[in-house]
Structure 1
Amino acid sequence: MKSLHKQSGIALGGVVFLTLLVVFAGLLFVKMSGHYFDQYTMKKMIQTSLEGQTVSRFSESDFVSRLGKNMEMNGIEIDLKKNFTYDKSKTPPLLVIDYEKREHLFLNIDVVMSFHQEYEL
């Protein structure tokens, strides 16, 4: 006599779906992780450069020059003239870096990552 019980396990369609999901998540991680690592590196460079700086001793041109050299050594490509602002009107003054990175995934699908950091002087 045959026993009637529910089949357990996953169907072929489920295996294909899970495989595609894992591949898509891996693709996102590989494509996006570099930009987030660059942001983390730049954040550390800025914090290190601002240590011990005061408003009276701060030179915007020296800071941008030093940050640009550090970014060049680390292979970070961001236009500081366009994405870096120094707001002297606020107390304490603010350094603001605001930029977007666009990464092509596949076909006509792109990922846009937006980064915004404010640093008090």
Structure 2
Amino acid sequence: MKSLHRQRGMSLWGVVFLTALVLFTGLLLVKMSGVYYDHQTLNKTIRNALAGQTATGFSESEFFDRVAKNMQINGIRIDLKKELTYDKRQSPPVVVLNYEKREHLFLNVDVVMSFHQEYEL
């Protein structure tokens, strides 16, 4: 009979720990998903702007204007002049997107997400 008594299930502390773990994972998912969605939107915007540029020849100012306009429409806030660079010294010229986003979780805990993407012309 004693072996059946020990197999009743989780204790109260086990349920509390599992609930806290699920809530923390949900909080991470909610806070980080917006930043990753913005990055995917920005990635698609840059790819579309580059696809339009390669057919007619690359115009750096037109490319940056097109990306900035799409970022404003989609509500993405990063500093393009600092985070998006055009390197024409490499063999195929490369546009590099390199930035970090910091998202506040709770109290004094933040999560830092860094993104680095290179696009060849």
Q: Find the aligned partners of 2:55 and 2:75 in 1 and give their Cα distance.
A: 29
Q: Find the aligned partners of 1:94 and 1:13 in 2 and give their Cα distance.
A: 54
Tell me what 1:117 maps to.
Answer: 117
Aligned partners of 2:53 and 2:63 also within 8 Å: no
Amino acid at match of 1:86: Y
For 2:78, what is the secondary structure of its paired residue?
A: coil
Give a deviation string over 1:44-78, Cα, whole Å, max 9, x none.
11111111533971011111111000000000001
Report the TM-score when normalising by structure 1. Answer: 0.93
Unaligned runs of 5+ in 1: none
RMSD between superposed Cα atoms in Å: 1.4
Tell me what 2:75 maps to.
Answer: 75
Unaligned runs of 5+ in 2: none
Aligned partners of 1:55 and 1:93 also within 8 Å: no
Q: How does 1:13-52 map to 2 (within 5 A)?
A: 13-52=13-52
Aligned length, in residue pairs = 119
Report the TM-score when normalising by structure 2. Answer: 0.93
